[in-house]
Amino acid sequence: MEHAVQAAVSILFDGIAYSMVLFVMAVGLSVTMGLMGVINLAHGAFAMAGGYLTVTFLGNLGLPFLPGLVLAVLAVGAASIPIEHTLYVRIYNRPHLDQVLLTIGVTLMAIAVATYAYGPSPLSIKLPAFLETQVGVFGRDFPAYRAFIIGVGVLAFLALWAGFERTMLGAKIRAAVDNRAMAEAAGVNTTRLFTLTFALGSALAALGGALAVDLVGLTPRFALQYLVLVLIVVSIGGFGTIMGAFAASLMIGVIDNAGRYLYPEGSAFFIYLVVILVLVVRPGGLFGRA
Amino acid sequence: MRKRSTSWIMPLALLAIGAGAPQAAADTVKVGVILPFSGMAADVAQSELRAMKLYYKLHKAELGGNDITLIERDSKEPSGATAQTLTRELVVQDKVDMLVGYQFSPDAIASAPFITQAKKLAILVNAQSSYIPKLSPYIVRLSASSWQITYPMGPYAVDKLGCKTAIVGYTDFAPGRDVAAAFKAGYEKAGGKLVDSIAMGGPAQVPDFTPYLQRIKDEKPNCVYIFTPAASFNAALARTWRDQKLAEAGIRFLGTGDVTQDSVLPQLGDNAIGWITGGHYTADLNTPENKKFVAAWYKEYGDKVKPDFFTVQGYDAMAAVFHVVKTLKGKIDADKAVAALKGWKVNSPRGPIMIDAETRDIIQNIYVQKVVKKGDSLGIEVIDTIPAVKDPCKELGVGNCGAGSPAKK
Amino acid sequence: MTAAAEPALLTTVDLSKNFGGLQVVRNVAFSLRRGARHALIGPNGAGKTTVVNLLTGALKPSGGSIYIAGLEATQLSEADRVERGLVRTFQINQLFRGLTVFENIALAVAQRRGVARALWRKSAACAEVTDEAMAIIGELHLDPVAFRRIRELPYGSQRLVEIAIALGLRPRILLMDEPAAGIPADERDLILGVVGRLDPDIAILIIEHDMDLVFRFAREITVLVNGAVLMQGTAAEVAGDPRVREVYLGSSKHG
Amino acid sequence: MAAPESTAAAARARSVADAFLRRRDDARLVEAGFWLVALAVPIALPEHAAFGGQVLIMMLFALSLDFVLGYAGVLTLGHAAYFGVGAYVSGLLSAKLGWHEPLSGLVAAGAVSAAFGALSGWLLLRYRDLTLLMLTLAVSTTLFELANTWSSLTGGYDGLMGIQIAPIFGVFEWDIAGVTGYGYVLAVLLLCFVALRRFTVSPFGQALRGIRENTLRMRAIGAPILGHLTLAYTIAAAVAGIAGGLFAQTNNFITMDVLSFERSAAVLTVLILGGTGRLYGALFGALVYMLAADWLAKLSPVYWEFGVGLLLVVIVLLCPDGLLGLYDRVRAAFGGRAR
């Protein structure tokens, strides 16, 4: 009995940590998809870029952990602006097929560049001492780094949620997600709004990528490995909703973790069956408009 | 036999050589090299090819008047189909004398029927599924088999490491399941108690090992034996191993040599110190042959990348090619070539190796390797040697090599 | 008139629609007989287009019923309603822009004639479809552009195709959502001429903004304000009603 | 108007329309050129026949995708599911059930794949956009993982061994150069092409174009969207299954790779490269893609991935109609008539 309780605590804790990485990575995509209607399969490439830049800043340049992390996130966010201006603006009003292809193309190029620059072998980072300790939760010890991830994830959620609900920018984004033409008519500069949102989404992806390095290691394949999971979160949560992305991340993260603990052999399909089930019942996602 | 009719260049060439010792017309042996130069194993393929070229450079003089040219082809993803098409093309179009390569097991498995049909010697540089040499009489393996590496570690774990209970964890695909079966067979035969066998996610999935290691921790075995495909997932595995504090829980880590592949070892970080793996080569092996090989490697390619077991597999494959060319004096015939390799012995950087005359598979030492700190970085200390291991799968007729074998004729 | 003896072609009873808490259409009731020329007017946001969507089945009503030729049709699919002769045109062009005018109309004709499922028959072998599509093209004087793609056509011609597709379905009831929307003044007569020449047996419900057009065309008018019927009557009655003048004309300045 | 006059006008209209339809639908002489060249390959370059056969299989696979994507506008990221089902059906028939006759094996591959396509299509095609994209991806990934997990049957990653295909019609033996295989694949490709060609010029083919161009309007004219799409999807699944069957039969070997996401992405790339909605786009796309992959990989294999990525970006930005669309535009610019 006690064993079962302890196992349940582990599954929950690790599952939530995993969920938070998913959330941070996916929420940007959810918002950009809802706002601009772009299917951006290159989102994983931005996450990968965040991971590699963190490795560079921490490893090669020797920056401390937190400044290095923040710098990597800002760098990816800034770099995404010219990319949005040169590439993405051209596909906003194009068919989904074109969007899928262009962004797959960008992903493949990013993978090739990463392979060229960093090699195909997995890379890792060195965590600061305060994250190398353990924290106790309900009688079990957990790595402090995972608690840190949960903290970052929850903070990001609260900040985004408040920003969406309480600020002018958030109100504009919500308005544009609901009805772009109407928002434009009301004087919202959607072009600038798109760029800002895209940069924010890419920066968040980079944060997710950087956080994941220590959990799963970093190879150029990262851009594709996480993509499917992130897409799952976005489609299950529904586009353009912070709450949806958060709930879907928690659901997928915990279910996936529990499935792999309890029934490793079936873990591979389990998650896909959940996706098929949810989408067939609610095509717009749990929190989306049907 | 070289099939091309003597060209008009040949007499000229002879003239150019001059009136020196009257020797047989020099033959250039064409060797088709099929490796995945692009895709996820691109670095491995490159390392293997470099080793082949290094051997050629160091031993070229031994060829006498003959020469060897390599025709390199990219087998890309492990689908088997590309490698097979390349095999056919190299035979039909480029008229190669022999084939070398086959990184992934499916590449070799798919090509085997055509190797037989074309009557060409095929030297496996990797492709570790145990039964593969049974698929064609012209296949000779210079790498290792997954049973050869894993099976002896079972008794070793029981007898020398005191593993009364154990769990095997593996990447969930056919080669991983093969390793799990091999460990179970060796370990239980020696009287160990296998508590659980855990499929740790497929090769295409996000490598988050947390739930699996948590499950292992909760089951409290003495030891775990783990296989993940070389290079890809090991850093994450090491990190999670440390995070979940399995060593502190008194669980001993064992694994295949893939986990502690020399070229990737630095990425594991200190988390992997104390891990014990069974493998057929480490660059830190303390023998004169190996020291010479490693020095030559660094001299040729710089010291950024450490050679590893893949490298030495490429190196030894080229040694086998040389042996065939020298024995047959450049006139390659598949049956004679296989005959020349049967029972062939050589002192490789990985120690004494021999081709088993019966199975055409390699017989070699398996080293018990321990991850230790060497100066600033990690290294391997060989703590024991299990000498001259024959592939137990074919030897015992079990697993994939037994009655239910996919390779049954 | 014999039409009076037949049941009405289209009748709605207490038709209502809520989006969330918002009631966009409330208890709308009207009726079209054979040959009707009925206009549904009202200021922006009055719920006119929602009514059309309820009639075609694109939206499911929150309450009330729809009858086509006297038979309950509230739960029927869009396709079934088309089969019973209820056809619509769109305020914003909904055309097959990459296809030619001929192909646009032929799609509708093939669908009505039940050959749209023919897999192994060449389009060229469906002479009845070709003839009928060409006849409609002739009627609407689209001959010069018959084999041009929609996206290459001037807007006025596109508007005509919008109607032509509907005619390909041989409607008994035709819902026209602002047929002249967006057309420059000098081309309006073209559209109005076509609308005026339509088969007198078709019951037409026209949704319109433009009072000129409404009074030239409609014999009966329903005025919709805030989703509810403000009044119904002949053109003369509506034109003379002070409430309509105030509500409708007052706000149409912004339209 | 007098009746005879209007009859004459109708006849005139009919002849104009018929001329248009013939121009749109009838085969051109140039097309024969393509097939003659394809036929000449194994005679002129017998040593490339094995590779050529793989190219033809990719062409067939891309054709099937063109039918749903290019004509009906259904965007899928999981088309390999049907290729894989076909491959495993014909592979397992031979390897596990001892049924080695090739043509019946191919028919079985097509039939099972069609049945699976009908079922999954009927379930999935009621959704659109990202939901559909995710569902197609999820279905194909589930099959991929199933093939991996159930490796006692499928061979999984190591592959399904023991596929032996009897001589075609009991007469034509398979040769190592792959000439027989090439001829076999070419014949099947031609048959499927003719059938698909016929479907695309039928009223049904027009209806699919209508759905692609404007689903809302198609619904408003009373067309059964789900029914049309499911039928198209079933046909495409059958053709993809046949392509998979050919793949298994000509290679005598398959791994779970036949179901991979990479394969779905590759066929999408092929189709876009050639141009969608024109059948020959699929054929040319496959040819150019496979040759470029082969050639680039020989030159510098490591950069192949970058090259494909760049290619996709350039095509989407500069020539969204693919290579054949580009050809049309160039011809139009030089005074020729575009299709």
Q: Clarify whether residues C228 and C123 are in a common domain.
A: no
| pLDDT tops 80 at residue A45 | yes
| Residues near B178 by beta carbon (within 8 Å), at least 6 away in sequence | B129, B130, B146, B147, B399, B400
Residue D59: CB atoms within 10 A of its CB come to 28
| pLDDT tops 60 at residue B19 | no
Rounded Cα–Cα distance for residues D301 and A246 (Å): 41
Q: Domain boundary at C170, C196, C218, which?
A: C170
CATH of the domain at B339: 3.40.50.2300
- The alpha carbon of D160 is separated from its chain's Cα centroid by a whole number of angstroms, namely 24
Domains in chain D: how many in total?
Answer: 1
Among the partner-chain residues C98, C121, C122, the one whose CB lies closest to the CB of D213 is: C98
Task: Report the greatest alpha carbon distance in chain D.
Answer: 79
Q: Clarify whether residues C175 and C76 are in a common domain.
A: yes
Give burial (CB, 10 Å; 0-12/13-18/19+) of B147. Answer: buried
Alpha helices in C11-126 (DSSP H): 48-56, 78-83, 101-112
Q: Clarify whether residues C126 and C201 are in a common domain.
A: no
| Mean pLDDT score, B274-284 | 95
Tell me the domain boundaries of chain A. Answer: 2-281
Rounded Cα–Cα distance for residues C33 and C4 (Å): 7
Q: Clarify whether residues C176 and C162 are in a common domain.
A: no
Tell me the β-bridge partners of B123: B100, B140
Report the half-sphere exposure of B123 (CA within 13 A, side-chain side).
Answer: 31
Q: Could you tell me if D209 and C150 are in contact, meaning their C-beta atoms sit under 8 angstroms apart? A: no
| Mean pLDDT score, B17-31 | 61
Q: For D287-336, how does the pLDDT look when each residue is reduced to its tens digit (9 = 90+)? A: 999 988 877 766 665 577 788 889 889 988 988 888 888 888 888 877 65
Residue D292: CB atoms within 10 A of its CB come to 15
Q: Clarify whether residues C139 and C68 are in a common domain.
A: no
| pLDDT tops 80 at residue D252 | yes
* Cβ-based contacts under 8 A for chains A and D: 119
Q: For the whole model, what pTM was predicted?
A: 0.90
Q: What is the CA radius of gyration of chain C?
A: 18
Q: Clarify whether residues C62 and C109 are in a common domain.
A: no
**Chain-chain contact of D306 with A112 (C-beta, under 8 angstroms):** yes
**Chain-chain contact of D151 with B177 (C-beta, under 8 angstroms):** yes
Q: Domain boundary at C117, C151, C170, which?
A: C170
Q: Domain boundary at C151, C170, C189, which?
A: C170
* D225 to chain C: closest CA residue: C79
Q: Clarify whether residues C153 and C50 are in a common domain.
A: no
Q: Could you tell me if D309 and A108 are in contact, meaning their C-beta atoms sit under 8 angstroms apart? A: yes
> Is this prediction's ipTM beyond 0.90?
no
Chains touching C (at least 3 CB pairs under 8 A) are D
Q: For C29-55, how does the pLDDT look when each residue is reduced to its tens digit (9 = 90+)? A: 999 999 999 999 988 888 898 999 999
pLDDT mean across residues, chain B: 88
Kindly list the distances between the CA atom of residue B290 and the CA atoms of A162, B144, B350, B365, in Å, as whole numbers in the listed order.
63, 18, 7, 14
Q: Which of C182, C176, C188, C160 lies closest to C87 in space, CA to CA?
A: C176
* B129 to chain D: closest CA residue: D158
| Residue C2 falls inside a structural domain | yes
Q: Clarify whether residues B104 and B159 are in a common domain.
A: no
Among the partner-chain residues D276, D308, D315, the one whose CB lies closest to the CB of A108 is: D308
Q: Clarify whether residues B323 and B187 are in a common domain.
A: no
- pLDDT category of residue A274 using cuts at 50, 70 and 90: confident
At A1 the pLDDT is 60
Residue C21: CB atoms within 10 A of its CB come to 5
Angle between helix D102-124 and helix D129-149 axes, rounded to 10 deg = 140
At B183 the pLDDT is 95
- Rounded (5°) CA angle B316-B319-B324: 130
Rounded Cα–Cα distance for residues A80 and A203 (Å): 8
| Residue D22 falls inside a structural domain | no
Domain that holds residue C126: 95-170
The bridge status of strand C228-234 relative to strand C220-225 is: antiparallel
- Residue A197 tokens, joined: 């949102």
Residues of D in contact with C123 (CB under 8 A): 21, 24-25, 201-203, 205-206
Higher pLDDT, A189 or C115: C115
Residue D129: CB atoms within 10 A of its CB come to 15
Higher pLDDT, A160 or A284: A160
At D302 the pLDDT is 58
At D117 the pLDDT is 97
DSSP C7: P
| Mean pLDDT score, C132-150 | 95
Give burial (CB, 10 Å; 0-12/13-18/19+) of B316. Answer: buried
pLDDT mean across residues, chain A: 88
- pLDDT category of residue B4 using cuts at 50, 70 and 90: very low
pLDDT mean across residues, chain D: 90
| Residue C90 falls inside a structural domain | no
- Residue D317 tokens, joined: 């930005």
Among the partner-chain residues C99, C102, C107, the one whose CB lies closest to the CB of D221 is: C107
| pLDDT tops 50 at residue B21 | no
**What does D10-78 look like in DSSP terms, one character per residue?**
HHHHHHHHHHHHHHHHSPPHHHHHHHHHHHHHHHH-GGGHHHHHHHHHHHHHHHHHIIIIIIT----S-
Rounded Cα–Cα distance for residues C159 and C183 (Å): 8
The minimum CA-CA distance between B234 and chain D, rounded to whole Å, is 20
Rounded Cα–Cα distance for residues A141 and A137 (Å): 6
Domains in chain C: how many in total?
Answer: 2
Q: Clarify whether residues B134 and B80 are in a common domain.
A: yes
**Chain-chain contact of C79 with D224 (C-beta, under 8 angstroms):** yes
C220-225 sheet: strands from edge to edge:
C86-89, C173-177, C203-208, C37-41, C220-225, C228-234
- Residue D257 tokens, joined: 């790779």
- Residue D218 tokens, joined: 């198609």
**Chain-chain contact of A14 with B202 (C-beta, under 8 angstroms):** no
| Residue D230 falls inside a structural domain | yes
**Chain-chain contact of D206 with C78 (C-beta, under 8 angstroms):** no
Q: Which of A108, A137, A143, A163 lies closest to A215 in space, CA to CA?
A: A143
Touch criterion met for A and C (3+ Cβ pairs within 8 Å) = no
Q: What are phi and psi of B140, to 5 degrees?
A: -125, 130
At D292 the pLDDT is 85
Touch criterion met for D and C (3+ Cβ pairs within 8 Å) = yes
Chain A positions contacting chain D at CB under 8 Å are 33, 39, 87, 90-91, 94, 96-98, 100-102, 104-113, 115-116, 228, 231-232, 234-235, 239, 265-266, 268-269, 272-273, 275-276, 279-280, 283-285
Terminus-to-terminus CA distance in chain B, angstroms? 29
- Residue B211 tokens, joined: 């739930």
| Residues near B349 by beta carbon (within 8 Å), at least 6 away in sequence | B281, B285, B287, B289, B290, B292, B293, B294, B312, B315, B316
Among the partner-chain residues C83, C110, C143, the one whose CB lies closest to the CB of D203 is: C110
Rounded Cα–Cα distance for residues A140 and B241 (Å): 16
| Mean pLDDT score, D116-143 | 90
Q: Clarify whether residues B225 and B302 are in a common domain.
A: no
| Mean pLDDT score, D112-116 | 98
Chain D positions contacting chain C at CB under 8 Å are 9-10, 13-14, 16-18, 20-22, 24-25, 198-199, 201-207, 209-210, 213-214, 216-224, 228, 231
- Rounded (5°) CA angle A219-A225-A227: 125
**What does A146-190 look like in DSSP terms, one character per residue?**
HHHHHHHHHHHHHHHHHHHHHSHHHHHHHHHHH-HHHHHHTT--H
Residues of D in contact with C120 (CB under 8 A): 198-199, 202
| Residues near A236 by beta carbon (within 8 Å), at least 6 away in sequence | A244, A248, A251, A252, A275, A278, A279, A285, A286
CATH of the domain at C242: 3.40.50.300
The minimum CA-CA distance between B204 and chain A, rounded to whole Å, is 7
**What does B5-73 look like in DSSP terms, one character per residue?**
PPPTHHHHHHHHH-SSS--PPP-EEEEEEEE--SSTTHHHHHHHHHHHHHHHHHHGGGGTT-EEEEEEE
Among the partner-chain residues C94, C106, C127, the one whose CB lies closest to the CB of D206 is: C106
Q: Clarify whether residues C186 and C208 are in a common domain.
A: yes
| Residues near B68 by beta carbon (within 8 Å), at least 6 away in sequence | B28, B29, B31, B56, B321, B322, B325
Domain that holds residue B396: 148-279+365-401
The minimum CA-CA distance between D313 and chain A, rounded to whole Å, is 5
Tell me the β-bridge partners of B168: B197, B225
At A125 the pLDDT is 84
Q: Clarify whether residues C163 and C180 are in a common domain.
A: no
Q: For D69-112, how does the pLDDT look when each residue is reduced to its tens digit (9 = 90+)? A: 999 999 999 999 999 999 999 999 999 999 999 999 999 999 99
- The alpha carbon of C250 is separated from its chain's Cα centroid by a whole number of angstroms, namely 26
**Chain-chain contact of C120 with D202 (C-beta, under 8 angstroms):** yes
Q: Clarify whether residues C4 and C77 are in a common domain.
A: yes
| Residue D185 falls inside a structural domain | yes
| Residue B12 falls inside a structural domain | no
Chain B positions contacting chain D at CB under 8 Å are 37-38, 42, 73-74, 76-81, 84-85, 88-89, 91-93, 105-106, 109-110, 113-114, 117-118, 129, 135, 172-175, 177, 202-204, 406-407
At C96 the pLDDT is 96
Q: Clarify whether residues C38 and C134 are in a common domain.
A: no
| Residues near B295 by beta carbon (within 8 Å), at least 6 away in sequence | none
What sign has the CA pseudo-torsion C34, C79, C20, C251? negative
| Residue D155 falls inside a structural domain | yes
Residues of B in contact with D254 (CB under 8 A): 80-81
Touch criterion met for B and D (3+ Cβ pairs within 8 Å) = yes
Where residue B37 falls (left for φ over 0; alpha for ψ -120 to 50; beta otherwise) is alpha
**Chain-chain contact of D178 with B88 (C-beta, under 8 angstroms):** yes
Q: Could you tell me if A267 and A259 are in contact, meaning their C-beta atoms sit under 8 angstroms apart? A: yes
| Residues near C14 by beta carbon (within 8 Å), at least 6 away in sequence | C27, C28, C29, C63, C64, C65
| pLDDT tops 80 at residue B298 | yes
* D305 in A contact zone (CB under 8 Å): yes
Q: Could you tell me if A21 and A146 are in contact, meaning their C-beta atoms sit under 8 angstroms apart? A: no
At D307 the pLDDT is 85
| Mean pLDDT score, A38-44 | 90
Domain that holds residue D252: 28-260
Residues of A in contact with D148 (CB under 8 A): 268
| Mean pLDDT score, B307-330 | 95
As assigned by CATH, the class of the A2-281 domain is mainly alpha
| Residues near C4 by beta carbon (within 8 Å), at least 6 away in sequence | C33
Q: Could you tell me if B130 and B362 are in contact, meaning their C-beta atoms sit under 8 angstroms apart? A: no
Q: Could you tell me if C113 and C129 are in contact, meaning their C-beta atoms sit under 8 angstroms apart? A: yes
* C98 in D contact zone (CB under 8 Å): yes
- pLDDT category of residue B120 using cuts at 50, 70 and 90: very high
Among the partner-chain residues D204, D209, D213, the one whose CB lies closest to the CB of C119 is: D204
Report the half-sphere exposure of B72 (CA within 13 A, side-chain side).
Answer: 18
| pLDDT tops 80 at residue A109 | yes
The bridge status of strand C63-68 relative to strand C203-208 is: unpaired
Q: Could you tell me if B391 and B147 are in contact, meaning their C-beta atoms sit under 8 angstroms apart? A: yes
**Chain-chain contact of D203 with C90 (C-beta, under 8 angstroms):** no
For chain B, percent of residues with pLDDT exceeding 70? 90
Residues of B in contact with D297 (CB under 8 A): 37-38, 74, 76
DSSP B380: E
Residues of D in contact with B171 (CB under 8 A): none
| Residue B1 falls inside a structural domain | no
| pLDDT tops 90 at residue D5 | no
Interface test with B, best of D157, D163, D264 (most B CBs within 10 A): D157
What SS3 state is found at B351?
A: strand
| pLDDT tops 90 at residue A154 | yes
For chain A, percent of residues with pLDDT exceeding 90? 39
* C101 to chain D: closest CA residue: D17
For chain D, percent of residues with pLDDT exceeding 90? 63
| Mean pLDDT score, A64-71 | 94
**Chain-chain contact of D138 with A39 (C-beta, under 8 angstroms):** no
